[in-house]
Amino acid sequence: MPVEDWLPAAARAAAIERTLKSGEALFRLGDKTAGLCEVVAGRVRLARVDRAGREIVLHVAGPGETIAEASLFASRYHCDAIASTDAVVRIYPKTAVLAAFAQDRAAAQAFTATLARQVMSLRTRIEQRNIRSARERVRHYLSVNVGADGRTVALAGTLKDLAAELGLSHEALYRTLAALERAGAIKRGKGKIVLMRARKL
Amino acid sequence: MPVEDWLPAAARAAAIERTLKSGEALFRLGDKTAGLCEVVAGRVRLARVDRAGREIVLHVAGPGETIAEASLFASRYHCDAIASTDAVVRIYPKTAVLAAFAQDRAAAQAFTATLARQVMSLRTRIEQRNIRSARERVRHYLSVNVGADGRTVALAGTLKDLAAELGLSHEALYRTLAALERAGAIKRGKGKIVLMRARKL
DNA sequence: CGGCGTTTTGAGAGAGCTCAACATCGGTGG
DNA sequence: CCACCGATGTTGAGCTCTCTCAAAACGCCG
């Protein structure tokens, strides 16, 4: 849900805009929280680094999406936010947003509903990450992310990015997609995947 | 955070109490949502069933914890809730809770903060589920769930339950715990695990 | 004591990861 | 316009680790 639809103008007016180069960090785990953040352009990923030094992608946000909602109630960030492409973000300071919620009940409730939806989508992601099989994981991703036509899945970034988002090695993803295409289950296009025969997935 | 601390008495008065036998379902995916649910006694797990017929545990709630928060804003449940032990739950009807939030701003904000925390803990769980290695996954679980003393991890149910919660086969969990104990990293007691040498974990 | 579910241990197979080599593509600069 | 370069995309081979199937020891409760 777009920020303009529910965040009162007073809070929106306090926004700070910031541009990020690809690979640049918006914030790091442990930094003090600034506030709610909306992605205006590009893509920003939330990630943590495991003890083996590998990055674990928790979420990828595109234009219109917000990140760091939970940080309104925390003093420190609990993960990294890094631009996956050149990006522009708007930061709504914590105090301004909380003040707006105190005055505008509808805004507060809309925000709560947003969080509730996020909880559901995170559960879905847990379900995905619990799947060991690359094929099933890809299948699950495709079925969750089909567009309105029910057959097309738009790909935001590179396949390598997707592999990271899926928690697979990029080789495994390549192989799985190739196998699915060979089997006639999908067709790959530039920046998209079209489901051909759900039966074969 | 205990429900009594933030939910207004008016909403609490509308609660319906229900007892569940071990294995009994509180609700199933697709059922119409009733409202917020608090676990009074026993343990209730949230789970989905994957297409291979295996159950994927999304969360296990114990006494004092609430489940189905997100369902306040949805019309259908998006996962199953099943009693892992004999249990008692209190259901606060959706309308009563939403009405309370409309009147009591502090309650609404406390609820929002609860959701925000849940988002964070779900992210942590995604991180965990992304780990392939059984050893690392157990290590992650232990480090996230150590008690106040920093060395003891209380186990709610059986090791088999824990294996399901971790998304591991129970054999893998047994072997991993045995190996960690042999290495002197942990010590197992009844219903608990004590960390001995974090170095060896 | 008998029965059932949990806890253990063993062996084998499958699947993804890692390392490695190579092809492709887009952008840059001569 | 073309050569170069880095990153993405692709494929191959071997290894490791977990899963699965099996079987047995253990513990608890009637």
Give, as ranges, the nucleotides of chain C with any atom within 7 Å of a protein CB: 6-11, 15-20
Distance (Å, whole) CA A196 – CA B64: 48
Helix, strand, coil share of chain A (percent; to 5): 40, 25, 30
Q: Do B19 and B63 lie in a common domain?
A: yes
Q: Chain A residues with CB inside 8 Å of B102's CB?
A: 105
A133 touches strand C (CB under 7 A): yes
Same domain as A142, residue A110: no
Domain CATH number, residue A96: 2.60.120.10
**In terms of domains, do B145 and B102 share one?**
no
Find the CB nearest A123 among B51, B79, B112. Answer: B79
Amino acid at B4: E
pLDDT of residue A52: 83
| Contact of A9 with A84, CB cutoff 8 Å | no
The CATH number linked to B161 is: 1.10.10.10
Q: Does A34 share its domain with A101? A: yes
Q: What is the pLDDT of residues B3-36, one digit of tens each?
A: 878 898 889 999 999 999 999 999 999 999 999 9
Burial class (CB in 10 A: 0-12, 13-18, 19+), A111: buried
Which of A97, A121, A145 is where one domain is finished? A121
Residue pLDDT, tens place only, A140-188: 999 999 999 989 999 988 999 999 999 999 999 999 999 999 999 999 9
Task: Report yes or no: B72 and B98 within 8 Å, Cβ to Cβ.
Answer: yes
Judge if B107 and B135 occupy the same domain.
Answer: no
Residue that terminates a domain, selected from A78, A94, A121? A121
Task: Look at residue A23 and tell me if it is in a domain.
Answer: yes
DSSP per-residue codes, A162-177: HHHHHTS-HHHHHHHH
According to DSSP, residue B68 is labeled -
Q: Does residue A88 lie within any of the structural domains?
A: yes
Segment B52-56 shows an average pLDDT of: 88
**Whole-angstrom Cα Rg for chain A:** 18
- pLDDT beyond 90 at B167: yes
Does at least one atom of strand C sit less than 7 Å from the CB of B143?
A: no
Burial of A106 (0-12, 13-18, 19+ CB in 10 A): exposed
The answer to whether residue A82 scores a pLDDT higher than 90 is yes
Query: Has residue A50 been placed in a domain?
Result: yes
Domain-embedded: residue A201: no
Q: Spell out the residues 6+ positions from residue B21 whose beta carbon is closer than 8 angstroms to its own.
A: B83, B86
Asked whether residue B83 falls in the same domain as residue B172, the answer is no
Instruction: Using a cut of 0.85, tell me whether the model's pTM lies above it.
Output: yes
Q: Does residue A75 lie in a domain region?
A: yes
Is residue B96 located within the same domain as residue B135?
no
Q: Which domain holds residue A185?
A: 131-195
Rounded to whole angstroms, how far apart are CA atoms B77 and B91? 14
H helices of chain A, where? 9-13, 94-103, 105-129, 134-145, 159-166, 170-182
Q: Show which of B75, B94, B121 is a domain's final residue.
A: B121
Whole-number distance in Å between B41 CA and D30 C1': 25
Terminal-residue alpha carbon distance, chain B: 31
User: Could you give the number of structural domains in chain B?
Assistant: 2
pLDDT at A74 over 80: yes
Average pLDDT for B154-169: 93
Cα end-to-end span (Å), chain A: 31
Contact B32, B40 (CB under 8 A): no
Pick among B6, B58, B65, B123 to test the A interface (most A CBs inside 10 A): B123
pLDDT band at B59 (very low <50, low <70, confident <90, very high): very high
User: Does residue B135 lie in a domain region?
Assistant: yes
Q: Are residues A107 and A29 in the same domain?
A: yes
In this structure, the answer to whether residues A136 and A114 fall within a common structural domain is: no
Mean pLDDT of chain A: 92
Name A residues 66-85 whose Cβ lies under 7 Å from strand C. Answer: none
Average pLDDT over residues B63-74: 91
The pLDDT of residue A199 is above 80 = no
- Could you tell me if A200 lies within 8 Å of chain B, comparing CB atoms? no
Mean pLDDT of B74-88: 94
Based on the domain organization, do A43 and A113 belong to the same domain?
A: yes
Both A15 and A103 in one domain: the answer is yes
pLDDT, tens digit, for every residue of B138-161? 999 999 999 999 899 999 889 999
Task: Flag whether A72 is in a domain.
Answer: yes
Query: Would you tell me how many other CB atoms lie within 10 Å of the CB of residue A200?
Result: 11
Residue A81: per-residue pLDDT: 96
Same domain, yes or no: B77 and B171:
no
Neighbours of A66 (CB within 10 A): 20
**Whole-angstrom distance, CA of residue B168 vs CA of residue B164:** 6
- Whether residue B46 lies inside any domain: the answer is yes
pLDDT at B188: 93
Say if the Cβ atoms of B70 and A116 lie within 8 Å.
yes
